[in-house]
Structure 1
Amino acid sequence: MIMKYNEFLIRLSNPARRALEFQGIDSFEKLASLSKKELLSFHGVGPKSLPIVTECLNEQGLKLKD
């Protein structure tokens, strides 16, 4: 089953969700264009968000940039 981006956002904490929205990250493709370091640099996104992001991107056949 392919997850919709808004379903992914619901799985994140409110601060992480707001951080992605503030940065204009509104699709899995835009999210996949980030590295772990870039993602963690956003205020509100912490290490607990990484497994959720990674899992959801994997379900879409995507991954974070190296």
Structure 2
Amino acid sequence: MLAQNLESDFPPKLAKPAQRALAGAGFTRLEQLVHLNEAELSKLHGMGPKAMEQLRTALEEKGLSFAKK
């Protein structure tokens, strides 16, 4: 569990279901999410509105964003 936290730069308060959904889909870094639009990512089981907002904010803080539709 600790190793996963060192590898991931997702928000620390991201809900466990969202963390599992991202890990299960092979995502460990925010930069990987720029290739998906919000609709695609929200289809993952465990990705709720709050998790999407947290990820959107984290991306924006790094000058990144989800892919456009």
Deviation at 1:5, TM superposition (A): 6.6
Structure 2: distance between partners of 1:48 and 1:17: 12
Q: Is the 8 A contact 2:59 2:65 kept in 1?
A: yes
Deviation at 1:21, TM superposition (A): 0.3
Residue of structure 2 equivalent to 1:25? 27
Paired residues in the alignment total 63
Structure 1: distance between partners of 2:9 and 2:34: 16
Q: Is the 8 A contact 1:54 1:63 kept in 2?
A: yes
* SS of equivalent to 2:40: helix
Q: What is the TM-score with the length of structure 1 in the denominator? A: 0.82
Identical pairs, percent: 35
User: Which one scores higher on RCO, CA 8 angstroms, separation ≥ 6?
Assistant: 1
Residue of structure 1 equivalent to 2:15? 13
Q: What is the TM-score with the length of structure 2 in the denominator? A: 0.79
- Structure 2 gaps, min length 5: 1-5
Q: CA RMSD in A?
A: 1.8
Structure 2: distance between partners of 1:31 and 1:51: 13
Deviation at 1:65, TM superposition (A): 0.6
